């Protein structure tokens, strides 16, 4: 059965179809011949999905931005995204026109970073959990610098004894995450390697803010987070103590902003 027999008017003016699939090309089954099909998958797709996004909107946003960055779609194209949110068969459809606002940096955050995508995600999830629970019920701020740890260490200095100096623990381990939450109440940044090893805590980032443009109201922690990602190939994840938002910086720019209360 062709897709036009199933969803009718959704196909009007559609020039590109994005299929979110675990490796299976569904174009022959659903899309008519005149619609170009792009597969977004973690297994041999046209756009590589480096990890599973739990939220449908994040998955679609990543796939469309990846297709735009890789010149598979153009600004002005009308695309139809097909996904299986509720089961194994396609059941969810999103149709919209591609605009420049699609370019948020989310795709490059994962594809151009040295750090393993699962490590980046684990740190973001840790920051979200900290934002939800705080430290003993009180809001806290925290800064995690992920990837390119050697250069980050060279561009920072210690504020206190590094409790992870001789350890080989990795982010994502439940016990390690408890330790990180406890240490997060103190000053300084955490430095995490590409593979997720906790390299250091209590680091003062010495990167300057010249040429860095961050949203108004964000303080020195965010400026340092943005600056270190301009000077290294690291990603910074910041939990703001003032507004409890999680912000992710890459290449000196704000890439993603998340509200922990929505998770």
Of 23-27, 33-37, 53-57, 139-143, which range is least confident?
Answer: 23-27
Query: Cβ neighbours of residue 76 under 8 Å, at least 6 residues apart?
Result: 97, 98
- How many angstroms separate the CA atoms of 24 and 60, rounded? 17
CA distances 52 to 21, 40, 44, 258, Å, are 11, 11, 15, 17
Exposure string of 153-168, with b = 16+ CB inside 10 Å and e = fewer, is bebbeeeeebebeeee
Query: What average pLDDT score do residues 219-234 get?
Result: 92
Two structure tokens written together for 58:
């994040």
pLDDT category at 58 given cuts 50, 70, 90 is confident
- How many angstroms separate the CA atoms of 252 and 214, rounded? 9
The domains of the chain, with CATH numbers, are: 4-108 (3.40.1380.20), 113-262 (3.40.1700.10)
- How many angstroms separate the CA atoms of 53 and 97, rounded? 22
- How many angstroms separate the CA atoms of 60 and 240, rounded? 27
Which position has the token pair 């996004």?
Answer: 53
- CA nearest 222: which of 181, 194, 253, 182? 253
pLDDT at position 24: 47
Exposure string of 228-249, with b = 16+ CB inside 10 Å and e = fewer, is bbbbbbbbbbbbbbeebbbbbb
pLDDT at position 154: 95
pLDDT at position 27: 47
Of 28-32, 57-61, 144-148, 239-243, which range is least confident?
Answer: 28-32
pLDDT category at 53 given cuts 50, 70, 90 is confident
- The average confidence (pLDDT) of the chain is 84
CA distances 1 to 5, 23, 107, Å, are 7, 20, 33
Task: Find how far residue 70's CA is from the centre of its chain.
Answer: 18
- How many angstroms separate the CA atoms of 115 and 80, rounded? 31
Q: Which ranges of 134-234 would DSSP assign to H, the alpha helix?
A: 149-154, 174-183, 220-231
pLDDT category at 28 given cuts 50, 70, 90 is low
Residue 6 has pLDDT above 70, yes or no: no
Residue 93 has pLDDT above 80, yes or no: yes
pLDDT category at 66 given cuts 50, 70, 90 is very high
pLDDT at position 23: 44
Q: Residue 20 in contact with residue 41, Cβ under 8 Å? A: yes
């Amino acid at each position: 059965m062709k897709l036009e027999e199933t969803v009718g008017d959704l196909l009007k003016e559609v020039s590109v179809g994005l299929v979110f699939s675990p490796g299976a090309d569904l174009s022959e089954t659903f899309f008519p011949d005149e619609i170009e099909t792009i597969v977004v998958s973690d297994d041999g797709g046209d756009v590589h999905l480096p990890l599973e996004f739990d939220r449908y909107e994040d998955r679609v946003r990543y796939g469309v931005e990846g297709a735009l960055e890789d010149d598979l779609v153009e600004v002005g194209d009308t695309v139809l995204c097909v996904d299986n949110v509720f089961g194994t068969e396609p059941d969810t459809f999103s149709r919209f026109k591609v605009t420049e606002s699609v370019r948020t940096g989310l795709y490059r955050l994962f594809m151009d970073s040295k750090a393993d995508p699962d490590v980046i995600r684990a740190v973001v999830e840790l920051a979200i959990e900290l934002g939800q629970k705080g430290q003993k019920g009180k809001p806290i701020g925290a800064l995690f610098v992920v990837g390119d740890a050697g250069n980050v260490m060279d561009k920072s200095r210690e504020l206190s004894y590094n409790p992870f100096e001789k350890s080989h623990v990795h982010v994502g381990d439940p016990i390690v995450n408890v330790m990180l939450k406890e240490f997060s109440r103190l000053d300084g940044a955490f430095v995490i390697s590409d593979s997720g090893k906790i390299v250091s805590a209590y680091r003062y980032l010495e990167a300057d803010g010249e040429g860095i443009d961050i949203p108004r109201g964000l303080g020195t922690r965010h400026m340092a987070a943005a600056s270190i990602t301009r000077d290294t190939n690291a990603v910074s994840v910041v939990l703001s103590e003032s507004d409890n938002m999680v912000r992710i910086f890459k290449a000196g720019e704000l890439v993603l902003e998340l509200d922990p209360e929505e998770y």
